[in-house]
Amino acid sequence: MSNEPILKCSHVSIRYRVGDFKNIGLKEWLMMHLTRKFKVLDFWADKDVSFQLEKGDMLGIIGTNGAGKSTLLKAVSGIMEPTEGSITRRGSVTALLELASGFDGDLNVKENTYLRGAILGYTREFMDATYEDIVNFAELKEFEERPFRQLSSGMKSRLAFSIASLLKPEILILDEVLSVGDGAFRKKSEAKMREIIGSGTTTILVSHSINQIQEMCNKVLWLHKGRQIEFTNDVAGCCERYSQFLDGKLKI
């Protein structure tokens, strides 16, 4: 069996270019380009981030707003390409980054479940065999004919989580997903995550809940303004230092 990590990020940096080219037409762009009367600024959302995960790892990513967490997840999932560095994946990836994405508000729950499954690359036969488990786990059986736009945000989140968790990818990425829904569903989703981890799925979780990170993750990555502060398996220690930073007791 290969000893290679299932996911490896090596010195990943991601740059956005911002400046005077936003919301202008072709003529304006051409004139600005010819006369050199424009400004372009580089914004590095992530800078020199490195970590690796083995099969069955659960990584918690922590950091304040603007730390670069969501941008990094988009790169890991393949939505974006790093400006610098490399990302190596050894398995299928399912990402829940924006819970409403991939759904059609005019389609009902059942139709949207099949739509999301198709987007993730699963066959009709597989979705036929899995659909009942998905809709029952999401607690939406009685709403399966209801248009998606009529669902509450919590219902939408439950369906998105259920599809991702029950399809059993090799790498699962969750951005604040376990914080949605009521207390009972949060407990059920956390139990499902533990089951997934036990089955060998490698998981990345972004959460503002330090307790959730400590309870569920065996590795943690701390980002701040795009910089990597720590990557460690000392989850409790890193979370304690992060809490001290939030309280103003620790400078970085």
Shared domain check, 157 and 81: no
Domain containing 176: what range?
A: 7-92+169-246
Number of folded domains in the chain? 2
* Partners of residue 61 on adjacent β-strands: 206, 221
Q: Do 87 and 202 fall within a single domain? A: yes
Q: Is residue 100 part of a domain?
A: no
Boundary (domain end) residue, out of 117, 140, 167: 167
In this structure, is residue 50 part of a structural domain? yes
> Using CA atoms, how far apart are residues 111 and 104, in angstroms rounded to an integer?
9
Query: In terms of domains, do 162 and 185 share one?
Result: no
Tokens of 37: 């009367």
- pLDDT mean by block of 10 residues, the chain; 252 residues: 84 84 61 65 93 95 95 93 96 74 88 88 91 94 94 86 79 75 76 80 90 93 98 98 96 92
Whether residue 211 lies inside any domain: the answer is: yes
- Rounded Cα–Cα distance for residues 168 and 117 (Å): 12
Q: Please give the Cα distance from 145 to 21 (Å, whole number).
A: 45
The answer to whether the pTM exceeds 0.85 is: no
On whether both 20 and 85 belong to a single domain, the answer is yes
Q: Give the count of alpha carbons within 13 A of 14, CB side only.
A: 26
Specify the pLDDT at position 1.
43
Identity of residue 88: T
